């Protein structure tokens, strides 16, 4: 009996040492908030009595629990991974390109998604919306004015973000400098958003109801104007103006 106990003890110690030294050979998961554990040894390692396997499973559970929790904390990558190589950490290359060309950068959604078309997209869809020459001239003038102002303000915003990034990179940032730069960035972003949104204010007065409905349908914002003719409108003219097939 004593010899059997010694053999069991030695085997348990061997199992425990194997688990500690070869954690990847063991698979454990927690079910029902850790109520049950299942551990599976690598194929071909053991051919011993069921008692030893049961004891090994207990050892595995005790060891694997803290280890699993420890590794879980180190296995999640940051969603910012890869962005550390950016020239300006807070702006992607696409962001910078959009700002430098005077693009909308999503700043005019409050107008665009509430039925007040933007000049750039109106010009892109001019033929499908059936803009006449006078409308095109007025919308193009508004677009070019907006674009020039947006490019200038976009460059200011990029410069401010670059300055902020440089201070953090060089460890020269102070509380006072941080406040100054954040205030300047917020002001620049506000001006840029105003430039884009204010241009949307003038477009509804330049368009007919039919053209706005057509614009919304083409942009995927509303129902197809061809599906239902509004009350008070001549069906034939409505379908003609909205290029219904």
Number of H helices, E strands in the chain: 10, 2
pLDDT of residue 189: 98
At 42-88, the pLDDT tens digits run: 444 445 455 555 555 555 554 555 544 444 445 688 999 999 999 99
Distance CA 150, CA 102 (A): 5
At 163-181, the pLDDT tens digits run: 999 999 999 999 999 999 9
Residue with tokens 């440089």: 166
Q: What is the average per-residue pLDDT within 14-18?
A: 61
Q: How many CA atoms lie within 13 A of 224 on its CB side?
A: 6
Tell me the two tokens of residue 176: 């006072």
Q: What is the average per-residue pLDDT within 110-137?
A: 97
Share of the chain above pLDDT 70, in %: 62
pTM over 0.75: no
Distance CA 129, CA 112 (A): 16
Tell me the two tokens of residue 86: 């950016």
């Amino acid at each position: 009996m004593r010899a059997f106990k010694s053999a069991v003890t030695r085997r348990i110690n061997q199992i425990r040492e194997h688990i500690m030294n070869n954690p990847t050979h063991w698979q454990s998961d927690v079910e029902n908030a850790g109520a049950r554990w299942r551990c599976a040894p690598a194929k071909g390692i053991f051919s011993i009595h069921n008692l030893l396997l049961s004891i090994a499973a207990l050892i595995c559970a005790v060891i694997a629990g803290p280890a699993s929790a420890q590794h879980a904390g180190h296995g999640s990558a940051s969603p910012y991974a890869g962005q550390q190589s950016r020239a300006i950490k807070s702006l992607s290359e696409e962001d910078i390109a959009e700002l430098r060309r005077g693009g909308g950068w999503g700043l005019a959604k409050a107008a665009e998604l509430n039925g007040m078309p933007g000049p750039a997209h109106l010009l892109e869809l001019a033929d499908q919306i059936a803009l006449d020459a006078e409308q095109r001239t007025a919308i193009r003038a508004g677009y070019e004015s907006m674009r020039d102002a947006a490019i200038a303000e976009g460059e200011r915003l990029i410069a401010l973000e670059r300055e902020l990034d440089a201070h953090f990179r060089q460890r020269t940032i102070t509380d006072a400098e941080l406040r100054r730069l954040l205030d300047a960035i917020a002001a620049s972003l506000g001006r840029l958003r105003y430039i884009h949104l204010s241009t949307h204010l003038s477009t509804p007065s330049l368009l007919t109801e039919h053209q706005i409905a057509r614009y919304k349908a083409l942009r995927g914002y509303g129902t197809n104007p061809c599906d239902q003719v509004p009350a008070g409108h001549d069906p034939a003219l409505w379908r003609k103006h909205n290029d219904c097939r």
